[in-house]
Amino acid sequence: MNPFDNINNKNKIKLLELLEARVLDLNKGVSLTKRYKNSNIIGVVEKGSIEITKIDLDGNTNIIDEIYENDVFVINEKVREDDNIIVKEDNTKVIIFDYDYILLNLNNDKDYFNQFIKNMYVIMNEKIKERNKRIWILTKKSIREKILAYLNLEFNKTGSKNIYLPFYLKDLASYLAVDRCAMSRELKNLKDEGFIDVKGRRIIILYK
């Protein structure tokens, strides 16, 4: 789902003007959290990617989520100091909407605005579902159980035994909240035991 689905380019421009949106071209390493601290914004990644990280008590940086093209993120006044939203790659384009401007236009009768609100509702609902899936994965006790839970969810979503990781293995370790070396050992064990095959960022399920 794209936030601008069923909105033509002409009306998209009108929408951005109506909501006084800002279009930013950013390079790798820029912290959006620091830039928009004490703000209430909704961001749309139009090109490139960003990642949401959290620093734990030991000072380690963990990836909480990755946001790719047409996906949405939120920064609000309650964001914690140890949370950060960082641009992941150069030439990333982000559209920033002020949440208050959206609220002010809720009674707007423009079709393109109402379509935008519908799209955002669907996207945020899907993000909640994805977050609940991750919570379910994290309830698993062992690394093996977490890996298999993740693969099963991806298989159920696409119906394909070829699972293409949206991130590198080191990021998968952060997503599963496990040690990278320990996860690599467990992937090797699963491969040696004939459960999976691993080719770069593709994991082929053999046990289905």
**3-class DSSP state for residue 23?**
strand
CA 171 – CA 85 distance, rounded (Å): 15
Q: What are phi and psi of 12, to 5 degrees?
A: -65, -40
CA 116 – CA 5 distance, rounded (Å): 8
Domains annotated on the chain, with CATH:
9-135 (2.60.120.10), 141-205 (1.10.10.10)
The pTM assigned to this predicted structure is: 0.74
Q: What are phi and psi of 48, to 5 degrees?
A: 85, -150
Query: How close are the terminal C-alpha atoms of the chain, in Å?
Result: 29
Q: What is the pLDDT of residue 34?
A: 86
Q: What is the pLDDT of residue 166?
A: 75
Task: Provide the CB-side half-sphere exposure for 118 (13 A, CA).
Answer: 9
What value, to the nearest 5°, has the Cα angle with vertex 23 and ends 128 and 61?
50
Q: From first to last of its 208 residues, what are the pLDDT tens digits of the chain? A: 899 999 999 999 999 999 999 999 999 999 998 888 888 999 999 999 998 887 777 777 777 788 889 999 988 766 666 678 899 889 999 999 999 889 988 888 899 999 999 999 999 998 888 889 889 999 999 999 999 999 999 998 888 999 988 777 877 888 888 888 999 999 999 999 999 999 888 899 998 7
